[in-house]
Structure 1
Amino acid sequence: MLRLYPASFRKRYEGEAMLLIRDRFRDETGFVRRARLWWDLVVDALGGLPSAYRNSYGATEDLLSLGAASGPSFHVLVDEPLGQGSIFVAGMTSLMVLLLVAFELGRPIAYQSIYGANGQMSPVEAVVQRLNRGSAGDSGGSDFQQSSRAARAGGPGSQTPASGGSGSEAAMLMTSQSDKPAKMSFEVASIRVSKPGTFTPPNFALDGGDSYAPFADPGGQFLADFPLSVYIQFAYQLPASPERTEAMLARLPKWVTTDHFEIRAKADGHPTKDQMRLMLQSLLADRFGLVAHFETQETPVLALLLDKPGKTGPNLRSHAEGPPCNDHPDGPTPHSAMKADGVFPPDCGSFMLVPAANHEMMIGSRDATMKTIADTLPSVGRLGRPLVDETGLAGRFDFTMHWEREAASASQAWAEAPAELQGPTFQEALKDQLGLKLKATRAPVDFLVVDHVERPSEN
């Protein structure tokens, strides 16, 4: 626009404008306030240039009066008319600026997705996601270092890495990169508050394993009678770690752990256990209004390591070296703890904890990953910290381990055992029987944070 005015006016106006911009930018801070400043300067230039030239700097002989002096008017210079080239350059420059702005606003940007993998999201979508997350019911602030792993439990896009087991379909609910991941739901479901003093046994174990064993295939039936906290742990395949469980429950109302709810649901066909988890996530979101996300905290942990590099203990072996799994359990009740052939546990895909002789406890599993083993051991060893697998062992394993029950009561499993203990401590059993050891360290750990939950809606 200055090109429409004489060179003497342009020079003086540009100098004063630059001084004004410098002074204003020195006083204004923040993106919004500086953006408003630019807007004011543009509006001032568009509306004030003709008036400033006419009233302050303009020479009468330089102008052709085209309007009343009382109102803003626009004057075309006689001695310095705009050439076609200048108009073309100005037009093309404006068009390029508009195209660049439109491209940047619409271009997907790389971000660390809530599922730990790189995703694609436009700035507008990112803002909408943040607003939607903030409008969800809030059960308290977070002290954790958020890793943007927010998700609506059971809703589209609400996927989470499952703890325990590899290739889990439950993990799909927090790892899918598709814009509209499939939502799995029960065909029919009913929820009612359990009567005091009554208990309905589940038709399969709500544990972290990926197999229904030692129960029979439920054929799409889901039957359980537990507090909501148990359903959340199963639906999101949370590690059996007291520390992670306590961190989640600390934010929740008391009824989540005290009130029992009987859930009866039916799905078509024969869904896997992981598919049952996905359907339960949807049910909890629909009926309990559950909204949850994962956060990562750098926290003290115990690293599970090989005591001797490349060598495991006598009670930890590759599953391929052990007896095959029984793919067809006999019925809806667990098998006996020990088969006639001495195999413990009798079925694959689950963990079994039983009392042994001399006040000892015995735990075992077959066809389990080391990550699943590391996720489960804190629940029986009372380690005081989450356990992280750093053995480097891939594949699937069978193991059994026994230790003296009182040893698990020590505040720290890596501390020396009291003199009165006769059997192996938990740490001694890990080393001598499994060839593993514990090392105190720090590592990032995922915690489930419940943002909102409410009592179930009517059936």
Structure 2
Amino acid sequence: MWSFKMNIVGPMLLSGVLLVTELVCVAKTPPVEQPKQQPGTCCAQGFDVVSIKQTKENSDNVLMFSREDGFNAQNVHVAALLNYAFDAHEYQIIGLPDWARSTTFDVVGKFSDPNEVALKKATLEEREEWVAKILVERFHLVSHKEKRVMPVYDLTVSKDGFKAKQSQPATVDQGHLADSVNPQQGMLYATNRSIFGKSAPFSDLAPLLSGIVNRSVIDKTGVTGSYDIKLVWTPEQAMLSNAPQSSQGPPDIYTALQQQLGLRLSSSKAPVDVLVIDSISFPIAN
């Protein structure tokens, strides 16, 4: 399960959202707490019109984004909607039926008379609440949060030391104006085989890794500050496939972390926030 969201309006690069085949996550610490409606917030009643249809054609392309007049998701599993609404990675969602992980849907939510000014000011938390309301009203979701002791990974510095380059303070002039507005600046991005970012807070790395290795990653490195980070690996699925692998290709993510960043993941156990699904129903299409 992948999370890649930013609090902006329009197409968003999974914490508002654009998810496509290769793009999988941007770091955001997952609280898993049930969104609560606050009196007086923007459009607290949720979308006026919601359309849900089961996807007819199989496709690996997944699209999910928040826009000025609503929300649009194409070819998404219910697990992806739960991820968006509750910031819960796949390993944090307990009790979800098989159909909710395998059946895909097209979901559209719209406001019939949108207040454009208010919608532009809507926070990420408010937008998450709107999607949570779809899950409750159309999928009849009943859930609760709790902590459970689960397998985790401890992220530590390897014996060879941390290898990422610490970011230098940015200087802006006309000749480098394009660099100053680089969307990679100050944030980590990820595909299914790489993590990259410039002047990115190191604290963002562990939450991002959690979504990739499908297990909570606890930062025990003691590393602080911002860094230029680049990590490239071969996905486990590719290694397990019958397709021929290049001997020069990158290693698995665990080896890549040690070789490229001087970090290691060690198995452990710890309490983890989880979202327990008490009940959920297949929606009636409209």
Answer whether TM exceeds 0.5 for this pair.
Answer: yes
Alignment match, 2:68: 219
- Contact 1:407-1:426 within 8 A present in 2 as well: no
Alignment match, 2:280: 453
Higher helix residue share: 1
- Contact 1:292-1:451 within 8 A present in 2 as well: yes
SS at match of 2:81: helix
Alignment match, 1:142: none
SS at match of 1:238: coil
- Contact 1:348-1:367 within 8 A present in 2 as well: yes
Q: Which has the higher contact order (CA 8 A, sep 6+)?
A: 2
Letter in 1 for 2:232: H
**Fraction of identical pairs, as percent:** 24
Which of 334, 341, 351 is the aligned partner of 2:189?
351
Matched, 1:291 2:142: yes
Matched, 1:202 2:63: yes
- Give the direction of change, closer, same or farther, for the CA distance of 1:407–1:284 in structure 2 (3 Å limit): closer
Matched, 1:273 2:124: yes
Superimposed CA distance per residue, residues 378-407 of structure 1 (whole angstroms, 9 cap, x where no aligned partner) = 554x5x753222233455555210134569
SS at match of 1:256: helix
- Contact 2:148-2:271 within 8 A present in 1 as well: yes
Matched, 1:191 2:51: yes
- Contact 1:190-1:263 within 8 A present in 2 as well: yes
Equivalenced residue count is 237
| Whole-angstrom CA distance in 2 between matches of 1:223 and 1:190 | 10
Q: RMSD in angstroms over aligned alpha carbons?
A: 4.1
Which of 85, 91, 112 is the aligned partner of 1:235?
85
Superimposed CA distance per residue, residues 166-191 of structure 1 (whole angstroms, 9 cap, x where no aligned partner) = 6x9x87756x8xxx844734342312
- Give the direction of change, closer, same or farther, for the CA distance of 1:423–1:285 in structure 2 (3 Å limit): closer
SS at match of 2:194: strand
Higher strand residue share: 2
The within-5 A match list for 1:8-407 is 165=28, 173=34, 181-182=38-39, 184-197=44-57, 202=63, 204=65, 218-225=67-74, 226-239=76-89, 243-244=91-92, 248=94, 251-266=95-110, 268=115, 269-270=119-120, 271-307=122-158, 312-314=162-164, 317-318=166-167, 321=169, 346=184, 349=187, 351-353=189-191, 361-365=193-197, 369-370=201-202, 372-380=204-212, 382=213, 385-394=215-224, 397-405=227-235
| Whole-angstrom CA distance in 2 between matches of 1:264 and 1:323 | 43
Alignment match, 1:57: none
| Whole-angstrom CA distance in 2 between matches of 1:193 and 1:264 | 9
- Give the direction of change, closer, same or farther, for the CA distance of 1:451–1:374 in structure 2 (3 Å limit): same
Alignment match, 2:260: 433
SS at match of 2:67: coil
- Give the direction of change, closer, same or farther, for the CA distance of 1:423–1:284 in structure 2 (3 Å limit): closer
Post-superposition shift, 1:232?
0.8
| Whole-angstrom CA distance in 2 between matches of 1:458 and 1:407 | 33
Letter in 1 for 2:28: G
Larger Cα-atom Rg: 1
SS at match of 2:221: coil
| Whole-angstrom CA distance in 1 between matches of 2:211 and 2:32 | 22
Post-superposition shift, 1:304?
0.6
- Contact 2:32-2:145 within 8 A present in 1 as well: no
- Give the direction of change, closer, same or farther, for the CA distance of 1:445–1:368 in structure 2 (3 Å limit): farther
Letter in 2 for 1:258: S
Alignment match, 1:115: none
- Give the direction of change, closer, same or farther, for the CA distance of 1:171–1:397 in structure 2 (3 Å limit): farther
TM value normalised by structure 2:
0.64
Alignment match, 1:129: none
Post-superposition shift, 1:223?
0.7
Letter in 2 for 1:202: L
Residue segments in structure 2 that go unaligned for 5+ positions in a row: 1-25, 173-177, 241-246
Post-superposition shift, 1:303?
0.2
